[in-house]
Chain A
Amino acid sequence: MPEIKVTPLGAGQDVGRSCILVSIAGKNVMLDCGMHMGYNDDRRFPDFSYITQNGRLTDFLDCVIISHFHLDHCGALPYFSEMVGYDGPIYMTHPTKAICPILLEDYRKITVDKKGETNFFTSQMIKDCMKKVVAVHLHQTVQVDEELEIKAYYAGHVLGAAMFQIKVGCESVVYTGDYNMTPDRHLGAAWIDKCRPDLLISESTYATTIRDSKRCRERDFLKKVHETVERGGKVLIPVFALGRAQELCILLETFWERMNLKAPIYFSTGLTEKANHYYKLFITWTNQKIRKTFVQRNMFEFKHIKAFDRAFADNPGPMVVFATPGMLHAGQSLQIFRKWAGNEKNMVIMPGYCVQGTVGHKILSGQRKLEMEGRQILEVKMQVEYMSFSAHADAKGIMQLIRQAEPRNVLLVHGEAKKMEFLKQKIEQEFHVSCFMPANGETTTILTNPCIPVDISLGLLKRETAIGPLPDAKKPKLMHGTLLMKDNSFRLVSPEQALKELGLAEHQLRFTCRVHIQDPRKEHETVLRVYNHLKGILKDYSVQHLPDGSITVESILIQATAHSEDQGTKVLLVSWTYQDEELGSYLTSLLKKGLPQST
């Protein structure tokens, strides 16, 4: 039985360093190559030695696919390709290819320049690595080699995020990466067709959550910002440079536009500007509204949002500032926070989760007095708000995707084990498909039942379908032909051609059967009676009475002779070829019943 093997090197019952190995029909594919944010030692990268101890990786892997540019999905890529050594193709979408190196470079800078680590990949390595990348378009079928093909679907999560279908012959696997089933202000919803893969590998970050409508969140957010700005306060929104930041920008930008507001909005510079540039370019990857209106105005060409300068923080009057990093642990956002924290008119909005120990976490948990470096006590008088904007599918979204794709098996990664357990149970219950959730390093084997394509000549197909009622695609149909297995290919051909190709002579197979009939009349009279009888019953067949005293029904021959001993018994000789078996046996049974009483 053919099988698909899946081994997560990372992201198995865990979030971070996504890296999943899939072997399908003799092809080995690596899905994502991420780093883990929680570790600073060897554990931050997947254990590539699992793939091979001493051989070259290129020999073992047919290709690597990166789903999107987040570091937990692509962070280990330069290490993997340049330091461990992989020269095969790496596939990612165009936006991912554009933005990925920016983030990798940033990551490298922080690790090497700030933390002073050595033995880390260099800028050159990132560049070399990107040279191996093949960019793909949405819904473009890319032929990796003769048998392996991949296809990208829209995933919504961040700009350029994609789900990938990996297909060899009739077997296929879909890997979702991270995806979002509800559209947001700048990206659309994930979508896949009914591709019915053998296996769907889905993320399950929010396996046990069903989220509220995004409108309430957006409204709350806008209302808070608006109110603060109206009473002359300043709003600080700490963000990470890519992803949510753009969504919030669009949100505020359109709101400013709609409400004719004049207060300035600033975005801290650096990495973001480069990224915004790419957002402007990849309009086709955004949502309906942006795609439709970009002819008039590209939504990412912000009218109200300007670049931030350090000096602006002291400007009087209301303003809104987006500053990095998102958890208020260092950098510009912390600087601004310290300046503004003392005024109760101001507000800080945390749009995402904060790790324990950061200033963000402290203020969110209600701490009003913070100890800064140098024993300084900072009293926080400004309002602190929390808004969750996240772009992962919730439990309902995951179920919806499964319903759309109709897979035969589901495998969950990128989530916590306990939560997966719940979702797994739900999936099995609702869809009656088996669901797996392997831990890192654990191999899951899935048996498949691939269909085997057989070539058939058009002539034979037409001939066979012409017989009988109209073909119904939903039901199997019986066909006559000869199956030839030759040179690793299957062909269905007509018997004559098969004989010709194999150089065999044709043998005729005939069945003959004698039927005794009690009939005192003369032979030819009996024949005539039989003829009339058959003619009466077999209206759809050509029944002929030949001059030599025999009857043919299609190709079946019937002859009558008187019984040598008893003249009152006539012996009917029925003879047919094996192709006419059905009709022949029907005829004999008919004749065996005897002739009707003559009238």
Chain B
Amino acid sequence: MAAHLKKRVYEEFTKVVQQQHEELSTKKLRLTKPSKSAALHVDLCKATSPADALQYLLQFARKPVEVESVEGVVRILLEHYYKENDASVRLKIASLLGLLSKTAGFSPDCIMDDAINTLQNEKSHQVLAQLLDTLLVIGTKLPENPSVRMRLVEVACKHLTDSSHGVRNKCLQLIGCLGPVEKGVAKEAESQAAKDVQKIIGDHFNDQDPRVRTAAIKAMLQLHERGLKLQLAIYSQACKLLADDYEQVRSAAVQLIWVLSQLYPESIVPIPSSNEEIRLVDDAFGKICHMVSDGSWVVRVQAAKLLGSMQQVSSHFLEQTLDKKLMSDLRRKRTAHERAKELYSSGEFSSGRKWGDDAPKEEIDTGAVNLIESGACGAFVHGLEDEMYEVRIAAVEALCMLAQSSPSFAEKCLDFLVDMFNDEIEEVRLQSIHTMRKISNNITLREDQLDTVLAVLEDSSRDIREALHELLCCTNVSTKEGIHLALVELLKNLTKYPTDRESIWKCLKFLGSRHPTLVLPLVPELLSTHPFFDTPEPDMDDPAYIAVLVLIFNAAKSCPTMPALFSDHTFRHYAYLRDSLSHLVPPLRLPGRKLVSSAVSPSITPHEDPSQQFLHQSLERVYNFQHLDPQGIQELLEFTIRDLQRLGELQSELAGMADFTATYLQCQLLLIKALQEKLWNVAAPLYLKQNALASAAAKQILEETYKMEFMYSGVESRQVVIIHHMRLQAKALQLIVTARTTRGVEPLFGMCEKFLQEVDSFQRCFISELPHMQGSFVDKLLDLMPRLVTSKPSEVVKILQTTLRQSTFLHLPLPEQLHRATANIIEPTGESDNPLRFTSGLVVALDVDATLEHVQDPQGTVKVQVLYPDGQAQLIHPKPADFRNPGPGRHRLITQVYLSHTAWTEPCQIEVRLLLAYNSNKSKASTRIPKSTWSESLEALPPSENGIEGTIPFSKPVKVYIMPKPARR
């Protein structure tokens, strides 16, 4: 609300003073509106009944008030306030006072006294509460004025005895927000008869109204947030509040206890009913654990969340949270976890379970069983089994945080986390997989645990599977059977969901490189080699075989004995994979293959430099072409562009850079071609042809410049100038072409005007960069500017043409990092021959799955385009929730596209592609513009000129076979 109001106010401001935007004219036009206060006064006087007055006030509240008139309006309102008998009108006035004092730029200290005075005679509790709220607003607007704050706090203290909960609520809120925080001020306050704020608030912990109790705790927390150190004495009070009847109070009390436990972790508190004493943080931990089995789920969520951040708690307490002593008929029973562990350690894993396998063992002493421990016993066991998934998620998060700080706890909580992989709600499953990944440094999975983890690989949700692959990437497995199991399950996954290919390969890469010694004994089996017989060579295109090879090669990297086990074809496959899947297969030092290895492995480091060098050299060569004849220039450019494109294909790190420069050179080449003198000198009848060429060139340059500006991440302002400059040249070219082809002068006027404006805005935007652009098109143009402004269009065109031809080619500096935005549609694959059939007029959903790289703000820019065979195009904006962010610079779009069409006679292909939307208004340059001039000219320029919106296709189109059937009657 506040933000909204502010925005409205700003909008209004910009309209108050309107300045004509031309730099030359110094005349200013000032429009002022009739005073608002006067109008309000008239309105209120006219009002006959309270209902009328209320209507006027409501209307008034909808309109913003400018800073100058706020005070006047406040006076008018106060005047009416005193006269008014109806409480609802007074309430509205009070709330208006609060809104008005929020007005930006208005200092409310002048109305504070009046506002406090109104409190004196007010009878209605609601109005009182509203007035206190207004005072709170005033107080927060004056943070630099301690005396004002003191006064307000005193006022609030006075009203604390009010019988209405609303008033007391507001008072406490006010004290919490404005109460003195610094020690010095607090002492001074005491002398001023204002008591210690903490004590005042603390007294209200026992208020009769739960809402006031909540407000008191919240005020205390507010004080803490503002930096006041809470007293230890509050702890015992807060503990009592944990047993409150109302969930709001309990929830707030849990927070307060947590705060205190962080403030005084090492203080000693006595345990009631015994002589022992424990650390406060342990005690608080126990208490909060207790709240995990509270009756209200809100409190449970709160408690479970806070548990995670109590890292100072002693490990003895921490481990109790996972402990739940089982018993059956008063005899001790082992948990399934313990049994699994035992089976595992005794070596007879996977024995069939018999009835009574879990039969209780020893008798327990009835006295020793404590059914409700006061301590932390089993808090997480309860939390993870909770009915509400919110609680379960909070508990998993807390487990994660605690396990990260304590390796021994991580080891213990593993069983429970693994159990959560089978939760009924996907979010919880996902969360627990992520948690496990985060703590995977501290743990090693047992075989039975791994078994459970791997079972989830068959989950139909892609998110879950991918999260699990990520988890497996960084898991430690203890035995070779474990590795084998993981591989088998992953291959199973691969056959069931072939789209997971990439993810599984990546997973196996890490699995192999982490456990070379465990993979070693498996190699013969995995490659199915035989000591005596040659085995058939496996199919190289089989994803499963590639998966196995990825695992082995990565293990072989740190295990030099492994290659000895390979058969001949394995080496050949290695060479092939090293080339085709270089990101998955590491360079290996292979025996007997010295040539290959020497060519591959040491090549990495020095290889980069030459390509960099090559890039720079070729650019260098291009920038010095000035001396060449036009034909030579063109050829050189063509060659360089070809070289750069090839370089980009070869060297993925330099791809962005190479493409970027190649595009730039392409633009230049087009420009040069278009400006060739021969073309412009031909006779009129041939104009048409050259005209087509030149205008096409101009259009393409424009397109390319947009691509350069918006498709690359890491573009800096230096590059943006050059890009804009190129665009300006293209526009000049367009102007020239149109001037040559159109008859009559009239339309040219407008175009010239527009072009000059553009030059102007270019100058304003990039004023700081102009010195670097000696001899460029713009530089020359700006010199001629005075002449251009005054001359006729035909002359302008002539000047432009010569300048364009004479101007030098600008050197494009390269940034450190440059990446081209790319997108790859994984699904639909476009391979299906079965048309997607649906009834015409109805809608069919097409699943689209794509990976995006180096796209900034994909939620706002990435669109899906569907092209129908009839030329009809449809643009779809995916929901923000459809984008996932698996890593820095990477995004994943998983969405559904709805297709519909009228009936076709036979199936046909539609094209699906991804587009990058841009808006030149939001270009990177706009941040650099000096604010004052810009905001004014923003008003002046029509939006169409500034904000050119467009889209760049940045993925390969995928064809989908569809068939809308006619509806059956």
Taking Cβ atoms with an 8 Å cutoff, the residues of A that contact B are 182-183, 185, 188-189, 191-194, 208-220, 222-223, 226, 254, 257-260, 287-289, 350, 364-366, 383-386, 395-396, 399-400, 403-404, 419, 422, 425-426, 430, 465, 469-474
Partner of A474, one of B206, B327, B387: B206
What's the Cα separation between A216 and B329 when bound, in Å?
20
| Chain B 537-561 near chain A by CB (<8 Å), digits 1 or 0 | 0000000000000000000000000
| Chain B 366-395 near chain A by CB (<8 Å), digits 1 or 0 | 100101100000100100111111000000
Across the interface, do A194 and B245 meet the contact criterion of CB distance under 8 Å?
A: yes
| Residues from chain A with Cβ under 8 Å of B206 in the complex | 472, 474
Query: Residue B638 at the A interface, CB < 8 A?
Result: no
Query: Residue B911 at the A interface, CB < 8 A?
Result: no
Q: Beyond the given A350-B355, A364-B355, A422-B330, please list 10 additional residue pairs across the A-B interface where CB-CB is below 8 A.
A: A209-B328, A212-B358, A213-B335, A222-B422, A258-B458, A260-B460, A260-B496, A366-B354, A395-B327, A469-B161
Instruction: Name the residue of chain B whose CB is nearest to the CB of A223.
Output: B455
The smallest beta-carbon distance between A86 and chain B, in angstroms, is: 36
| Residues from chain B with Cβ under 8 Å of A223 in the complex | 452, 455
What's the Cα separation between A185 and B425 when bound, in Å?
11
Across the interface, do A259 and B458 meet the contact criterion of CB distance under 8 Å?
A: yes
Across the interface, do B419 and A215 meet the contact criterion of CB distance under 8 Å?
A: yes
Query: With A208-B330, A213-B419, A289-B389 in contact, is A254–B353 under 8 Å at CB?
Result: no
What's the Cα separation between A218 and B424 when bound, in Å?
11
Across the interface, do B389 and A219 meet the contact criterion of CB distance under 8 Å?
A: no
Across the interface, do A213 and B452 meet the contact criterion of CB distance under 8 Å?
A: no
Instruction: Name the residue of chain B whose CB is nearest to the CB of A214.
Output: B385
Query: Residue B802 at the A interface, CB < 8 A?
Result: no
Across the interface, do A384 and B355 meet the contact criterion of CB distance under 8 Å?
A: yes
Across the interface, do B208 and A471 meet the contact criterion of CB distance under 8 Å?
A: yes
What's the Cα separation between A255 and B385 when bound, in Å?
18
Across the interface, do B387 and A189 meet the contact criterion of CB distance under 8 Å?
A: yes
Query: Residue B753 at the A interface, CB < 8 A?
Result: no
14 residue pairs from A and B, CB less than 8 Å apart: A183-B387, A210-B326, A212-B326, A213-B336, A215-B420, A216-B419, A258-B459, A259-B460, A384-B355, A395-B327, A396-B324, A403-B372, A426-B369, A471-B208
| Residues from chain B with Cβ under 8 Å of A366 in the complex | 354-355
Across the interface, do A193 and B387 meet the contact criterion of CB distance under 8 Å?
A: no
Partner of B452, one of A219, A259, A385, A399: A219
| Residues from chain B with Cβ under 8 Å of A400 in the complex | 293, 372
What's the Cα separation between A210 and B323 when bound, in Å?
12
| Residues from chain B with Cβ under 8 Å of A209 in the complex | 327-329
| Residues from chain B with Cβ under 8 Å of A217 in the complex | 336
Please list the 5 inter-chain residue pairs (A to B) with the smallest Cβ-Cβ separation, ordered nearest first: A473-B208, A216-B336, A183-B387, A386-B355, A215-B419
The smallest beta-carbon distance between B204 and chain A, in angstroms, is: 10
| Chain B 323-358 near chain A by CB (<8 Å), digits 1 or 0 | 011111110010111000000000000001111101
| Residues from chain B with Cβ under 8 Å of A396 in the complex | 324, 371-372, 378
The smallest beta-carbon distance between B3 and chain A, in angstroms, is: 32
The smallest beta-carbon distance between A523 and chain B, in angstroms, is: 42
| Residues from chain B with Cβ under 8 Å of A474 in the complex | 206, 208
Query: Residue B461 at the A interface, CB < 8 A?
Result: yes
Query: Residue B685 at the A interface, CB < 8 A?
Result: no
Across the interface, do B496 and A425 meet the contact criterion of CB distance under 8 Å?
A: no
What's the Cα separation between A465 and B162 when bound, in Å?
12
| Residues from chain A with Cβ under 8 Å of B327 in the complex | 208-210, 395
What's the Cα separation between A318 and B245 when bound, in Å?
54
What's the Cα separation between A383 and B353 when bound, in Å?
10
Across the interface, do A288 and B388 meet the contact criterion of CB distance under 8 Å?
A: yes
| Residues from chain A with Cβ under 8 Å of B378 in the complex | 396
Across the interface, do B337 and A216 meet the contact criterion of CB distance under 8 Å?
A: yes
| Residues from chain B with Cβ under 8 Å of A259 in the complex | 458-460
Max chain B C-beta neighbours (<10 A), residue from A214, A215, A257, A385: A215
Partner of A213, one of B333, B369, B385: B385
Query: Residue B295 at the A interface, CB < 8 A?
Result: yes
The smallest beta-carbon distance between A477 and chain B, in angstroms, is: 11
| Residues from chain B with Cβ under 8 Å of A218 in the complex | 422
Across the interface, do A404 and B295 meet the contact criterion of CB distance under 8 Å?
A: yes
What's the Cα separation between A365 and B359 when bound, in Å?
13
| Chain B 387-428 near chain A by CB (<8 Å), digits 1 or 0 | 111000000000000000000000000001001101111000
| Residues from chain B with Cβ under 8 Å of A422 in the complex | 330, 366
The smallest beta-carbon distance between B379 and chain A, in angstroms, is: 12
Max chain A C-beta neighbours (<10 A), residue from B336, B381, B422, B459: B422
| Chain B 822-834 near chain A by CB (<8 Å), digits 1 or 0 | 0000000000000
Across the interface, do A194 and B422 meet the contact criterion of CB distance under 8 Å?
A: no
The smallest beta-carbon distance between A220 and chain B, in angstroms, is: 7
What's the Cα separation between A231 and B202 when bound, in Å?
67
Instruction: Name the residue of chain B whose CB is nearest to the CB of A254.
Output: B424
| Residues from chain A with Cβ under 8 Å of B384 in the complex | 213, 215
| Residues from chain A with Cβ under 8 Å of B372 in the complex | 396, 399-400, 403, 430
What's the Cα separation between A555 and B371 when bound, in Å?
63
Max chain B C-beta neighbours (<10 A), residue from A191, A259, A399, A473: A259
What's the Cα separation between A216 and B326 when bound, in Å?
13
The smallest beta-carbon distance between B457 and chain A, in angstroms, is: 9
Q: In B271-298, which residues have CB < 8 Å from any A CB?
A: 293, 295
Query: With A215-B419, A471-B208 in contact, is A258–B353 under 8 Å at CB?
Result: no
Across the interface, do B387 and A212 meet the contact criterion of CB distance under 8 Å?
A: no
Across the interface, do B366 and A425 meet the contact criterion of CB distance under 8 Å?
A: yes
What's the Cα separation between A370 and B354 when bound, in Å?
18
What's the Cα separation between A552 and B460 when bound, in Å?
91
Across the interface, do A193 and B208 meet the contact criterion of CB distance under 8 Å?
A: no
Partner of B460, one of A191, A257, A289, A465: A257
The smallest beta-carbon distance between A33 and chain B, in angstroms, is: 30
Query: With A212-B335, A288-B389 in contact, is A185–B459 under 8 Å at CB?
Result: no
The smallest beta-carbon distance between A203 and chain B, in angstroms, is: 16
Partner of B295, one of A188, A194, A364, A469: A194
What's the Cα separation between A258 and B423 when bound, in Å?
11
| Residues from chain B with Cβ under 8 Å of A210 in the complex | 324-328, 333, 371
What's the Cα separation between A366 and B389 when bound, in Å?
40
| Residues from chain A with Cβ under 8 Å of B325 in the complex | 210
Across the interface, do B381 and A213 meet the contact criterion of CB distance under 8 Å?
A: yes
Across the interface, do A191 and B328 meet the contact criterion of CB distance under 8 Å?
A: no
What's the Cα separation between A216 and B421 when bound, in Å?
11
| Residues from chain A with Cβ under 8 Å of B353 in the complex | 220, 385-386
What's the Cα separation between A182 and B458 when bound, in Å?
28
The smallest beta-carbon distance between B520 and chain A, in angstroms, is: 30
Across the interface, do A208 and B389 meet the contact criterion of CB distance under 8 Å?
A: no
Instruction: Name the residue of chain B whose CB is nearest to the CB of A384.
Output: B355
Instruction: Name the residue of chain A whose CB is nearest to the CB of B452.
Output: A219
| Residues from chain A with Cβ under 8 Å of B161 in the complex | 469-470
